[in-house]
Amino acid sequence: LRNLADDGSLQHLSLNTATVRRQADLLAIVEAAKRHGISSLSPWRDQVEAVGLKRAVDAVRGAGFRLSGYCRGGMFPTDTELRADMLDDNRRAIDEAAALGAPCLVLVVGGLPQFSRPGSSPSNDIGEARDQVEDAIGALLNDAMVARVPLAIEPLHPMYAADRACVNTLGQALDICEALDPDGRHRLGVVIDVYHVWWDPNVHAGIERAGKGGRIHAFHISDWLVPTRDLLLDRGMMGDGIIEIRKLRGAVEAQGFFGPCEVELFSNDWWARPIDEVLSTMIERYRTVC
């Protein structure tokens, strides 16, 4: 199977707006993406808020862009007294995703409650945090279905288990999907980000399982640098690291996923470069190594 990129177009490329978040606001990012022939985006919630939801919707629609996701809901583990606020916050995220026409709401599920929702009492019980994640997703499933915004659980690399996401493998995310939405009626699914899952000896089995269940909602790409100098802000541009991106993309497409490759870098290095350099490099790498 050849990757979809082989047609030479950019129709299967999407820009996650965090990749250039330091350089420009969302409206300027839309303009820059358009200049480079990109027509798919995945915006972040704070970037939408900064320009206002209505202007964001107008800009995206005006440019004729499709979205590949909306980042992000989640941060579920919390004290009991903050739980209602946490659920409301996630319901607002679902509504925003619907307004923007996003095909899914990406869930970064949160780690221990003191990091997930600051102000919560400290607990190191990661098993309990995981139970809270499953419980909260269950509580939101119906809202998501009514709004026609599928929820997409993103397993994060285990180095983020304490403070960002206690769902750390594709297998674990799929266990939650199958427990809460066994027949797929609620379209609960996953985001597969190569940065988070490349190391997993079971990643190919997980991709197949996700595909068979129709649960692949998004596919994110970037690269793992050696050495990695910062746990959060040192993701590499595709081709600069060691992830077998093409192989993983082939596996996802072999499961019938035809959504775009969404480029998501958090990188002090790339954030320091001009937006046009980032976008042209990203396009060149997409065409040559993905």
Q: Exactly one of 200, 208, 273, 283 binds a second copy (CB under 8 A); which one?
A: 200
Cα–Cα distance between 234 and 93 in angstroms, integer? 27
157 part of the interface to a second copy, by CB under 8 A = yes
CB of residue 202 vs a second copy: minimum separation in angstroms?
A: 9
Half-sphere exposure at residue 221, Cβ-oriented, CA atoms within 13 angstroms: 31
Q: Exactly one of 46, 81, 125, 131 binds a second copy (CB under 8 A); which one?
A: 125
162 part of the interface to a second copy, by CB under 8 A = yes
Q: Exactly one of 23, 40, 168, 222 binds a second copy (CB under 8 A); which one?
A: 168
172 part of the interface to a second copy, by CB under 8 A = yes
- The tokens of 72 are what? 């992000």
The dihedral formed by the CA atoms of 192, 196, 198 and 201, expressed in degrees to the nearest 10 = -100
250 part of the interface to a second copy, by CB under 8 A = no
Q: Do 113 and 66 touch, CB atoms closer than 8 A?
A: no
Burial 110-140 (b: 16+ CB within 10 A, else e): bbbbbbbbeebeeeeeeeebbebbbebbebb
Q: Segment contacting a second copy (CB under 8 A): 63-71, 90-98, 100-108, 120-128?
A: 120-128
Q: Exactly one of 39, 90, 116, 169 binds a second copy (CB under 8 A); which one?
A: 169
Looking at the Cβ atoms of 101 and 171, the one nearer to a second copy is 171
115 part of the interface to a second copy, by CB under 8 A = yes
Please work out the total of residues on this chain that contact a second copy, with binding judged by CB under 8 A. Answer: 29
- The tokens of 185 are what? 């009626």
Quick check: helix, strand or coil at residue 171?
helix
Write the burial class of residue 182 (CB in 10 Å: 0-12 exposed, 13-18 middle, 19+ buried).
exposed
The 213-232 contact track toward a second copy, x by CB under 8 A, reads -----------x-xxx--x-
Cα–Cα distance between 35 and 135 in angstroms, integer? 43
Task: Give me the residues paired with residue 4 across strands.
Answer: none
76 part of the interface to a second copy, by CB under 8 A = no
Q: Segment contacting a second copy (CB under 8 A): 35-43, 65-73, 137-145, 163-171?
A: 163-171
Q: Segment contacting a second copy (CB under 8 A): 28-36, 43-51, 52-60, 122-130?
A: 122-130
Cα–Cα distance between 168 and 183 in angstroms, integer? 23
161 part of the interface to a second copy, by CB under 8 A = yes
Query: Which residues contribute to the site for a second copy (CB under 8 A)?
Result: 112, 115, 124-126, 130, 157-159, 161-163, 166, 168-169, 172, 198-201, 224, 226-228, 231, 241-244
